[in-house]
Structure 1
Amino acid sequence: MPQPVVLITGAAGGLGSAVAARFAAGNWRVAATDLNADGLHQLANSLPLAASVALDLRSAANCQELLSRVLARTGRIDALVNAAGVWREGPVESFSEEDFDLLMNVNVKAAFFACAAAIPHLRDSRGTIINIASDAGHQGNRNAAAYCASKAALTLLSKTLALDLAPDGIRVNAVSPGDIATPMLDFQAERYGEGDPQGYKRDLLKLYPQGPSARFIRPEEIAELVWFLCQPYAEAITGANLAMDFGLSAGK
């Protein structure tokens, strides 16, 4: 059997790079894409990459170009992991159109058209799509209406694609983490922590049911779940939205 290929968007980020490392350790060929060319270069220095493509995926044409360039190097694709994502927060009445468009274009549009470009090739391999959503995609998060809307859209995109593509043998799932200990969370705390990023993080942890022992999820923990979902033994799992959030979304 040919060595399988995973294509990871947002691969230079904290979560994307952890996913790349897990698949490389599992003897998959890893194709990586990110807008951050320097970050991709650093990833290529730490992992063997079958393809590395620096592209802005906020257009359908660029998503098609991505698949063309990856397939030219790999000849196949067995899994697509949409790990690219951004966070912005703030009340709706003062939320900027620029930030709204950024959220929708990165969190939804890029994933939508990456799926569209990958699907014809995933039919050949009877492959898998994993979209990294969020606990904020199926419950409200105060002061984050636009982000919640973007992740809810990604979750329902995943479920709909699972139904549409099941006859082709393609499985599609969403993974919904809580807060992950990555540079994105650091950015979030610095930008919105009003001068107290550690206090911002402590306030997030207060929402977790573990009390004083609460901690943020590690990116390698999410990567392990993504890996599991792409294996043949997970064949029965499609159309799911799997929470990995220490029970944050279980209820109050």
Structure 2
Amino acid sequence: MTIPVVLITGAAGGVGRALVQRFTQGGWRVFATDLDPQGLARLETDFPLAGAHAGDIRRPDTCKEVVAAAVAASGRLDALVNAAGVWREGPVDAFSEEDFDLVLDVNLKATFFMCSAAIPHLKAAEGAILNISSDAGRQGNRNAAAYCASKGGVTLLTKALALDLAPFGVRCNAVSPGDIETPMLRFQAERYGNGDPQAYYRELLDKYPQDGRARFIQPEEVAELAFFLCQPGARSITGADMAIDCGLSAGN
């Protein structure tokens, strides 16, 4: 029996690690990439990876290197999960070019060129692409114009690729979470919480429709949906953007 292979970007992050765990538990071979070599080393200690490659996927040449390494390690590629992402916030008139480039390059450019590098192999396997987008790719968020632009781009890139790749049997879907309880969320609260991370968390949760019972999304929930969408049993689902946000975007 052929064991499927998935390549996961941002694998050392909160969502990335949950993805590695879910695909491993599901019997897939997992190839991991991240900018953080120490994080990848911890993954290799904790999970039986097919391989790992540290690199900056904002560079198209690095994307090609990562995909080539994944295929060399396992002989095939059945799915690509783009989970690498960063957050910066602030009003547009005070937003730096450096932060803008970082957000767009990591969230959108890297996703585009990882897809570009993986597509020939995914065509051969009639595989799948799964992009982690965001509720901010569905609706505007205050003080997050660059992030919204990047994730809106990811969502529409996903839909366009679904049309382009359908004749080849390759599916492309997006998962759009709300606020996920990860190190990135802690970074947000500590950097942008004006010295009061708990107040930052409360402001985020106040947006949800649960009226005092709201909670942050867990990485494992995102990983479960992503895993399902990469299965052959989901072969009728392509071009979808699936919210996993406790109803945050339901009214928009």
| Structures share fold, TM-score greater than 0.5 | yes
Instruction: Flag structure 1 segments of 5+ consecutive residues without an equivalent.
Output: none
Q: Distance in 1 between the 2:185 and 2:110 partners?
A: 21
Aligned-residue offset at 1:56: 0.5
Number of the residue aligned with 1:221: 221
Could you tell me the TM-score, scaled by structure 2's length?
0.99
Q: Identical aligned pairs, as a percentage?
A: 65
Q: Distance in 2 between the 1:15 and 1:74 partners?
A: 23
Number of the residue aligned with 2:190: 190
Aligned-residue offset at 1:212: 1.2
What amino acid is the match of 2:81? V
Q: Distance in 2 between the 1:100 and 1:166 partners?
A: 33
Equivalent position SS for 1:49: coil
Superposition pairs of residues 92-241 of structure 1, within 5 angstroms: 92-241=92-241
Q: Distance in 2 between the 1:70 and 1:79 partners?
A: 11
Number of the residue aligned with 1:23: 23
Equivalent position SS for 2:243: strand
Equivalent position SS for 1:213: coil
Q: Distance in 1 between the 2:108 and 2:51 partners?
A: 24
Q: Distance in 2 between the 1:250 and 1:69 partners?
A: 40
What amino acid is the match of 2:224? E
Instruction: Flag structure 2 segments of 5+ consecutive residues without an equivalent.
Output: none
Please give the per-residue CA displacement for 1:99-126, whole angstroms capped at 9, x wherever unaligned. Answer: 0000010000101000000000000110
Please give the per-residue CA displacement for 1:79-109, whole angstroms capped at 9, x wherever unaligned. Answer: 0000000000000000000000000100001
Q: Distance in 1 between the 2:202 and 2:48 partners?
A: 37
Please give the per-residue CA displacement for 1:195-223, whole angstroms capped at 9, x wherever unaligned. Answer: 00111001100000001111000000000
Number of the residue aligned with 1:57: 57
Could you tell me the TM-score, scaled by structure 1's length?
0.99
Number of the residue aligned with 2:245: 245
What amino acid is the match of 2:186? D
Q: Distance in 2 between the 1:62 and 1:178 partners?
A: 29
Aligned-residue offset at 1:70: 1.3
Q: Does 1:32 align with 2:53?
A: no
What amino acid is the match of 1:249? S
Q: Deviating runs (4+, > 3 A) in structure 1?
A: none
